[in-house]
Structure 1
């Protein structure tokens, strides 16, 4: 039976191309041997459930433990009723045990207990009945909230001292967040922070992304099964775009081999991976959509807004920075600076932020196209100037991030320009002092640098021309735009101060400066 690239739920080796699940969690076996209670946290769809389910199966098969992965998610439907949440959770556990364990290792009937003690009573009875050390992996535990979450964590802490004969010998909490970031609504905070009742944990582990070699190894399984190979340039681009994020790695390949190159006699080329990326971004499927939802959270906005503006982070707590990394939204580059985790996420974040503005745009006639359908950058400039003078002021209010509102309005306009016929690539980072855009429309391209003139700052023209010079040379372009958004207080209306002028970069490249 043919295998495929999986983008939904845990992987299994019969149906899916997959790498050894525990390769990215080498410390787990030692923690279990030491009867440790620990946390495994990582973003959605990077392989947590797959890895721990595989480990549970291996531990049980080896005969020294009874190991099972169970979910806490059904309890989330009862955020204010501990008893009802516990009943739903324990019923789910029994179903999971039937699916994972042979009849002789099934748990005994769970004893009756008052609300707030049923999880601990069930684990105690199961541990006593198992006859071997019980290992339990609690998946989706951070889906619980408030009193239910606190109750479960306190029950685990209370039973911990009775292990290994009267409570699980080893136990793991599995979720998106470390314990300190579990959601609560008490104590003046929306997360546990350092006050976690699960202070018995030995370690908090996270699941790393694939390496470049592992991406090639995963794709090679498809080649082995079907004969269809990925060209080296396609492999390199797949890693560059995803930085090894497992869902993206699988999703790119799935689109490429099932939709773009279904003929297995044909190789997957770099252009196919480029097209697959565009399709994923356009569809913004569940994984990417859930990522975009994070952008409105104050903890995330405090980091992303200055990053998109090219500014400095300012006073952002270590907990908030670590939270953004734990979610998989950001990563630390080799220099130690925070950046968006991969180029696909970088595109998704900005598209999502600009989506409301894009949907608010008035109808714009494509006056920037030549009769043969090519892009006319001079007409495009004039069209933008007219658009900005007429609609810039009210559209700024539609942008969710005030600091980059002009950027988002410009990008919304450019999305109308390239709609269906081109792409926009973006570069931004902490401390760059700018955002760079590269517009592709058919065979035509346009490089744009965006800078902002703020109160108590000098005119950014000279610095912008120097930066644009380097950007153009890096792209191999001979001209481009420098867009200077004047955000100083007390300025004339946008309709009066918006204009374009010609200038040269330090190396003599002709550019258009748009002051808006």
Structure 2
């Protein structure tokens, strides 16, 4: 049976290219031997369910444990009714056990118990009747909320002292968040903030991304099956674009081998991965769409907005920063500071945020194209100035992030330009006080630096020219645009203040300065 790159649901070794999941959680075996209760949290579609299913299967096949992964997700349908939630959860556990365990290891019929104690009694009975120590991984635990979530956690804590004879020897809560971020409605907060009422955990583990070597190993499985070769530079590009995020690693390869280069005699190159990246971003697959949904969360917005504008984060609570890291949206750069987790997310985030202004754009004729279809930079400048003077004010109100609204409107306009056959790349980082854009259209490359003039700050012209010098040097260009958005109070309207001027960088590069 031919295998394929999986992008939907848990991987199965007979059907999908996959890596040994337990290799990314090396400490779990010891925690289980030590009768530990612990947390496994990681972003969606990074392989948690695949890893837990595989590990449970491995533990059970060893003959030493009765190990199973079950889910609490069905209980989310009853956020205020602990009795119905427990019954739904336990019914799902019975079904999972029938499918995943041999008959002699399956649980007995669940004993009758009052609401609020049914999970505890069921696990107790199963432990006592099991011929082996019981190990349980509870997936989607953070789908539960409020009284139901707290009730389940308290039952697990209550049974913990009775392990391993009267309660599972080891138990893991598996979800998107660490236990401190589970959603509750109590004490004026929407999160637990501490491990209580699951203060029995010995550790919180997260499932790491693939390494570069593991990406190569995964792609080599396809080469083994089909003889289609991924060049070393292509694997390097895949790792750079994804930083090893498993869904992205699989999604790029799937797009290439099934859509872009389905002929196995075609060797996979860097260009194939760049095309696959653009395809994924345009399609906004479910994974990227759910990422976009996170941007509406106020805790995420307060971090992403200054990153996009190059500002310092300020006094953002540690829990909120940790939450963004747990979601997989950000990572800590080895050189210091928080940064967007990978280049694909770095492209997706501003595109998503610019989609509101983009959908609000009026019909714009491509006056920036010459008769042969090539891009004319002077005509592009004229078109943007006309567009900005006429439509800038209302479009700024359609941007979801107020601090970078001008950036988003400009990007929306430029997306309309590149939709005709170009690309728009972005660079931004905490503390740089700028965003860089690189528009590529055929043989034409236009570099832009975006700055904001805020109250109490000096004119950013000189700083922008110095920074643009370095950006242009990196691209091998001699000219570019410096766009300065004026966000000071008590200034004329956009139509009145929008103007252009010529300038030079300290190294003599020719710059068009656009003030708006």
Is TM (by shorter chain) over 0.5? Answer: yes
- For residues 496 and 61 of structure 2, what CA distance do their matches in structure 1 show? 76
The structural deviation recorded for 1:196 is 2.5
Q: What does the per-residue CA deviation read over 1:471-516, in whole Å, with 9 as the maximum and x for residues that have no partner?
A: 0010111211000001111111110010111111111111110000
How do 1:116-515 and structure 2 match up within 5 A? 116-194=116-194, 196-515=196-515
- For residues 98 and 475 of structure 1, what CA distance do their matches in structure 2 show? 60
- For residues 438 and 80 of structure 2, what CA distance do their matches in structure 1 show? 50
- For residues 405 and 198 of structure 2, what CA distance do their matches in structure 1 show? 42
Q: What does the per-residue CA deviation read over 1:267-289, in whole Å, with 9 as the maximum and x for residues that have no partner?
A: 11111111000010011111111
The yes-or-no answer on 1:46 pairing with 2:46 is yes
- Structure 2 residue matching 1:56: 3-state secondary structure: helix
- For residues 59 and 456 of structure 1, what CA distance do their matches in structure 2 show? 63
- For residues 370 and 70 of structure 1, what CA distance do their matches in structure 2 show? 61
The structural deviation recorded for 1:420 is 4.1
The yes-or-no answer on 1:62 pairing with 2:62 is yes
Q: What does the per-residue CA deviation read over 1:329-380, in whole Å, with 9 as the maximum and x for residues that have no partner?
A: 0000112310000000011111111111110111111110000010111011
Q: What does the per-residue CA deviation read over 1:172-212, in whole Å, with 9 as the maximum and x for residues that have no partner?
A: 00000000000112211111102620000000000110111
- Structure 2 residue matching 1:194: 3-state secondary structure: coil
Relative to the length of structure 2, the TM-score reads 0.99
Q: What does the per-residue CA deviation read over 1:216-237, in whole Å, with 9 as the maximum and x for residues that have no partner?
A: 1110110011000011221111
- For residues 309 and 443 of structure 2, what CA distance do their matches in structure 1 show? 29
- For residues 58 and 235 of structure 2, what CA distance do their matches in structure 1 show? 32
How do 1:78-93 and structure 2 match up within 5 A? 78-93=78-93
- For residues 234 and 132 of structure 1, what CA distance do their matches in structure 2 show? 47
Structure 1 range deviating more: 455-464 or 413-422: 413-422
The structural deviation recorded for 1:442 is 2.2
- For residues 83 and 477 of structure 1, what CA distance do their matches in structure 2 show? 67
Task: Give the match for residue 113 of structure 1.
Answer: 113
- The answer to whether the 8 Å contact 2:195/2:201 transfers is no
The structural deviation recorded for 1:449 is 0.4
- The answer to whether the 8 Å contact 2:353/2:400 transfers is yes
User: Which structure 1 residue ranges, 4+ long, deviate > 6 Å from structure 2?
Assistant: none
Q: What does the per-residue CA deviation read over 1:313-335, in whole Å, with 9 as the maximum and x for residues that have no partner?
A: 00101111111001000000112
- For residues 479 and 448 of structure 2, what CA distance do their matches in structure 1 show? 9
- The answer to whether the 8 Å contact 2:142/2:182 transfers is yes
- For residues 441 and 82 of structure 1, what CA distance do their matches in structure 2 show? 58
The structural deviation recorded for 1:65 is 0.8
Structure 1: runs of 5+ lacking an equivalent: none
Relative to the length of structure 1, the TM-score reads 0.99
- Structure 2 residue matching 1:193: 3-state secondary structure: coil
- Structure 2 residue matching 1:76: 3-state secondary structure: helix
Alignment length (residue pairs): 516
- Structure 2 residue matching 1:250: 3-state secondary structure: helix
- For residues 185 and 356 of structure 1, what CA distance do their matches in structure 2 show? 32
- Structure 1 residue matching 2:490: 3-state secondary structure: coil
- Structure 2 residue matching 1:495: 3-state secondary structure: helix
Task: Give the match for residue 35 of structure 1.
Answer: 35
- For residues 419 and 259 of structure 1, what CA distance do their matches in structure 2 show? 20
